[in-house]
A and B are shown apart, each in its own frame.
Chain A
Amino acid sequence: MIPLTSGKRLFFLVILLVLVLYVMRVTAFGRVGATPLEGTLVDTFAALEQVATQLGWGVRDVFGFPLSLVTAARRANELSERVARLEGELEQAKEYRLENERLKKLLDFKSGPAAASGLEVTAAAVVGRDPGNWFSTITINKGRAQGIRENMTVLTPRGLVGRVIATTDRTATVLLITDPRSAVSALIQDSRTPGLVEGSAGGAGSLHMIHIPNDLPVRPGQVVVTSGTGSIFAKGVPIGEIADVKRDPTGLFFEASVRPFVDFNRLEEVLVITGVRSPVP
């Protein structure tokens, strides 16, 4: 390495810092399309990710079963009875699994309320997660080649998951609604009171609904759905239910914490809304 005087070194450091800070801003997730190099990198890596993720779930399943037996062993008198019951359940679970696989193939996930409301959906598997603790994004195994585009709504049969923020040929990145950068225009289902559902950092899966007008009562247990008006999200997708309500610091609005319907720590498959079918006459 060429020896540098400390003055020159400092100069290069400052240049590097300014450059990195600039690149960081221009590569914020709203930018149009990734560079081809990035796309290829991400696609290649995604194939590996898919294998590793599946292995991970497999290992968890393998370890999960003996652990449940260890607990049972402590209560020795219950053990034999319990093992018998577990074995029975395991058999039953296997049945359910096989049935589930058959049905999945048959329906290709395209049944249920989404199809009934005329939405065209594509099923995708979750292959990766954001590596850090600040953001909540997932990588799915369908991309531009399967018709996935930026800003498409992503959901599961239970409720809203997020929206697509970036795509490559064979993968897409989904911004979860629990991410601090996410905001969803929402309504309280029964009273039609509007508000904005925001995520927060930490991956704990908590949601806050803010800017709720204080002229209508808001109660814990009420269901929150997407409003669809002027929003990139499809209309009427369930988000979660209100957990508790308080006035915001200005006193003009209510703010509420919302318990999401989707378990964001156990996402394995999601549906992407790719279009709306015109209703059959």
Chain B
Amino acid sequence: MLGLLVLPGFLSLALLLQVTVVDLLRVKGVVPDLIFLLVVFYSFWRGQREGAFWGFVAGLMKDFITGSYLGLNALSTGVAGYLVGWAESRLYKESSLVVMVITFLATLVSQLVYYLLLVYLEIKVPFGVALFQVVFPSAMYNALLVPLFYRKFYRLYLKGWFRTGQP
């Protein structure tokens, strides 16, 4: 039962760090996304259904803190969780390198979905600017942070920290 609180706890902590100190790590105008990293890890361990669900929840938490466009992060992160979950039964979970590639691709897709939603919301961002100043740099940055965190979280996962009562 306690395991049910571990992931939300980590997500809340990541969100707190994200809106405060992560900004000090800004490089070329982009910041890494700690919440997104957690979603990628968890989806990779648990599969599509849980990936999509927790991606959606994590995104919604971000949306609440931002206070506008509720659902914007929820949808884009949920899609990423779903897609990463596809790799769950197919790829080797020990390797940080595999997770780096997954994170890079997941960030690309998630940010492109985000861009499409911005178009839907009539927020004008030139496509070139979006691609080369936001989408690619943030995917790179997220992927580069994976080796710092992945093994530690994977060890916690193997110890059963994130177990939610389901087999």
Known: A27-B69, A38-B64, A180-B124. A52 touches B30 (CB 8 A): no
A52→B121 contact, CB < 8 A: no
Q: Which residues on A sit within 8 Å (CB–CB) of B23?
A: 56, 129, 265
User: How many A residues have CB within 8 A of the partner chain?
Assistant: 47
Residue of A28, A42, A166 touching B121 (CB-CB under 8 A): A28
Range class of the B interface residue count: 35 or more
Stretch of B1-9, B91-99, B129-137, B148-156 that contacts chain A:
B129-137
- A52–B19 Cα distance when bound, in Å, is 9
Residue of B20, B120, B129 touching A56 (CB-CB under 8 A): B20
A202→B69 contact, CB < 8 A: no
B67→A166 contact, CB < 8 A: yes
Q: Which residues on B sit within 8 Å (CB–CB) of A173?
A: 67
Stretch of B37-45, B71-79, B157-165 that contacts chain A:
B71-79
Residue of A31, A56, A135, A139 touching B24 (CB-CB under 8 A): A56
- Which chain A residue lies CB-closest to B117? A24
Residue of A41, A57, A59, A134 touching B114 (CB-CB under 8 A): A134
- A137–B49 Cα distance when bound, in Å, is 33
A24→B121 contact, CB < 8 A: yes
| Chain B 37-58 near chain A by CB (<8 Å), digits 1 or 0 | 0000000000000000000000
A180→B68 contact, CB < 8 A: no
- A209–B34 Cα distance when bound, in Å, is 34
Q: Which residues on B sit within 8 Å (CB–CB) of A139?
A: 19
- Which chain B residue lies CB-closest to A173? B67
- A24–B120 Cα distance when bound, in Å, is 10
Interface of A, secondary structure class, is mixed
Known: A23-B71, A56-B24, A135-B66. A200 touches B129 (CB 8 A): yes
Residue of B17, B70, B133 touching A23 (CB-CB under 8 A): B70
- Which chain B residue lies CB-closest to A37? B64
Q: Is B103 an interface residue (CB 8 A)?
A: no
Q: Which residues on B sit within 8 Å (CB–CB) of A59?
A: 21
A137→B134 contact, CB < 8 A: no
CB of B7 to closest CB in A, whole Å: 17
Most buried by A among B22, B71, B118, B125: B71
B130→A38 contact, CB < 8 A: no
A131→B33 contact, CB < 8 A: yes
- Which chain B residue lies CB-closest to A165? B68
Q: Is B15 an interface residue (CB 8 A)?
A: yes
CB-contacts of A242-281 with B (<8 A):
265
- A29–B72 Cα distance when bound, in Å, is 13
Q: Which residues on B sit within 8 Å (CB–CB) of A131?
A: 15, 18-19, 22, 33, 35, 62, 65-66
Q: Which residues on B sit within 8 Å (CB–CB) of A166?
A: 67-68
B19→A128 contact, CB < 8 A: yes
CB-contacts of A131-168 with B (<8 A):
131-135, 137, 139, 165-166
Residue of A24, A180, A203 touching B72 (CB-CB under 8 A): A24
- A173–B69 Cα distance when bound, in Å, is 14
CB of A238 to closest CB in B, whole Å: 23
A132→B33 contact, CB < 8 A: yes
Q: Which residues on A sit within 8 Å (CB–CB) of B29?
A: 133, 202-205
24 residue pairs bridging A and B, Cβ less than 8 Å apart:
A20-B75, A23-B71, A24-B71, A24-B75, A28-B121, A34-B67, A42-B64, A45-B16, A52-B17, A56-B21, A59-B21, A127-B20, A128-B20, A133-B31, A133-B111, A134-B118, A166-B67, A180-B123, A181-B123, A201-B133, A202-B29, A202-B30, A203-B31, A205-B29
Nearest 3 Cβ contacts at the A-B interface:
A56-B21, A204-B29, A202-B133
Given contacts A57-B24, A127-B20, A201-B130, 6 further A-B pairs with CB under 8 A are A17-B75, A20-B74, A27-B68, A131-B65, A132-B66, A173-B67
